[in-house]
Every structure is written in structure tokens, then in C-alpha cells.
Structure 1
């Protein structure tokens, strides 16, 4: 289910974003969904790298790691 997000951005960035979306023949909504999906993936990858480092250093208990990995295995919606 889709929901509405509202936020403020700099006018110049807004214009650049609109132009970039148009260049790729995307609506601004499609482009922002793509940007949000990429951001979520980047953050998840950073979290996985950090977790892998902690695991290698034996700073995490196995059960905690398995719970965390399970929670991270949810797919990212790309509607």
C-alpha cells in the first residue's frame, strides 16, 4: 500500500531532480521511489558490513546475529 510523504527541499535541488527524472523518462514519483529504494539498500549494506566486522571480532552472540540477519532478509518493496 502506498502512502504520502511530504518534505522540504532546496528549490535548486528540486529543479535538478525534476530535470534528471525527465531525462530518464520517469515521473518524479517514480524517480523518488527509485532513490528511496537505493538509499535503503545502501544503508542495509552498510549495516551488513558493520555486522560482519563485529562477527569477525566475536563481538556478537550467534543468536543475536541470526535474529538480526532474519530481520534484514525482508525484501525491499519496489512497487
Structure 2
């Protein structure tokens, strides 16, 4: 099921976005969906890197490692 999102951006960013979507021959909706997917994936990847750094600093926490990896796999599979 799809839902409507509404957001505010400054005029310059809006114009840049519209130009980019046009250059890629995408509708505004297609471009925004793609941008949102990239944002979500980048956020998940950053959290994975942060968790990996914590784990490397605390190698003795094997259970935490296994739990985090399982959760990350579920999040990736949801896409």
C-alpha cells in the first residue's frame, strides 16, 4: 500500500531536484522514491559500520555480534 508524504524544501533545492529528475527522465515521485531508498540503505549501512566498530572494540561480546547480524539480515531482506 502506498501513502502520500509531504515535505518542505527551499526553492533552490526543489529546482535542483526537478532538474535532476528531468535529466534522469523520472517523475518527481520516482526520483523521490529512489532517494528515500538510498537514504534508508545508507542509514542502515552506517549503523552496521558503527556496530562493527563497537564489536571490534568489544570482541568478547559474541552474542551481540550474532544478534546484530541476524537483525541486519532481516532489515536487508525487507527490501
Q: Same fold by TM-score, threshold 0.5 exceeded?
A: yes
Which consecutive unaligned segments of at least 5 residues does structure 1 have? none
How many residues align? The count is 77
Q: Structure 1 25/3 Cα, relative in aligned 2: closer, same or farther at 3 Å?
A: same
Please identify which structure carries the higher helix content: 2
Greater RCO (Cα-Cα under 8 Å, separation 6 or more) = 1
Q: Is 1:11 aligned to 2:11, yes or no?
A: yes
Give the TM-score, by structure 2 length: 0.81
1:1-79 matched pairs, under 5 angstroms:
1-58=1-58, 61-73=61-73, 74=75, 75=77, 77=79
Give the TM-score, by structure 1 length: 0.81
CA RMSD in angstroms comes to 1.8
Contact 1:37 1:76 in 2 (8 A): no
Deviation at 1:66, TM superposition (A): 2.8
Deviation at 1:65, TM superposition (A): 3.3
